[in-house]
């Protein structure tokens, strides 16, 4: 079945360093979404990418969708302690009835040391 893989599982950086997490799908995706879950919290939607090769920025966060629409990345420039959490990517699996469900990656947990 469709799988979404994310690497690394965990990364520990010093505050001010950059961070990147990568997401790969076994199938072509119509779109990809990114969520952030703070420690003790619940996943919160960050962004959705739809177009091949799309790049979107949210302040220090840069999201990319691959040309083949099978991979994506999230890059954080100059991490801050507020960036701590687990970042999930998710892609839709579309059913014949037209509705879809999201397949989530296992997530990348980011730790930031001051």
Partner 1 sequence: DVKVTQSSRYLVKRTGEKVFLECVQDMDHENMFWYRQDPGLGLRLIYFSYDVKMKEKGDIPEGYSVSREKKERFSLILESASTNQTSMYLCASRLPGGNEQFFGPGTRLTVL
Give 40: exposed, middle or buried? Use CB within 10 Å, 0-12, 13-18, 19+.
exposed
Nearest-approach distance from CB 21 to partner 1, in angstroms: 13
By rule CB under 8 A, what string of x and - marks binding of each residue 68-107 to partner 1? --------------------x------x--xxxxx-xxxx
Nearest-approach distance from CB 92 to partner 1, in angstroms: 8
**Taking the CB of residue 11, how many other CB atoms lie within 10 A of it?**
17
Beta bridge partners of 24: 5, 71
Kindly tell me which residue out of 11, 20, 24, 48 binds partner 1, with binding defined by CB under 8 A.
48
Nearest-approach distance from CB 97 to partner 1, in angstroms: 8
The whole-angstrom separation of Cα 38 and Cα 56 is 22
Q: Given the rule CB under 8 A, which of 17-25, 29-37, 53-61, 69-77 is the region that contacts partner 1?
A: 29-37
List the structure tokens of 31.
Answer: 């779109």
3-state secondary structure of 83: helix
Kindly tell me which residue out of 39, 42, 96, 114 binds partner 1, with binding defined by CB under 8 A.
42
The answer to whether 88 touches 37, Cβ cutoff 8 Å, is yes
Where do contacts with partner 1 occur on this chain (CB under 8 A)?
6, 9, 31, 33, 35, 41-45, 48, 88, 95, 98-102, 104-107
């Amino acid at each position: 079945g469709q799988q979404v893989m994310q690497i690394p599982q965990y990364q520990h950086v010093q505050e001010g360093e950059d961070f990147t997490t990568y997401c790969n799908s076994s199938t072509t995706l119509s779109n990809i979404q990114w969520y952030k879950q703070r420690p003790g919290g619940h996943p919160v939607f960050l962004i959705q990418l739809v177009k091949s090769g799309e790049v979107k920025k949210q302040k220090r966060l840069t999201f990319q969708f691959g040309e083949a629409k099978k991979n994506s990345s999230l890059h954080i420039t100059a991490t801050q302690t507020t960036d701590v959490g687990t970042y999930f990517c998710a892609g839709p699996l579309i059913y014949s009835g037209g509705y879809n469900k999201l397949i989530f990656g296992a997530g990348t947990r980011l730790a930031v040391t001051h």
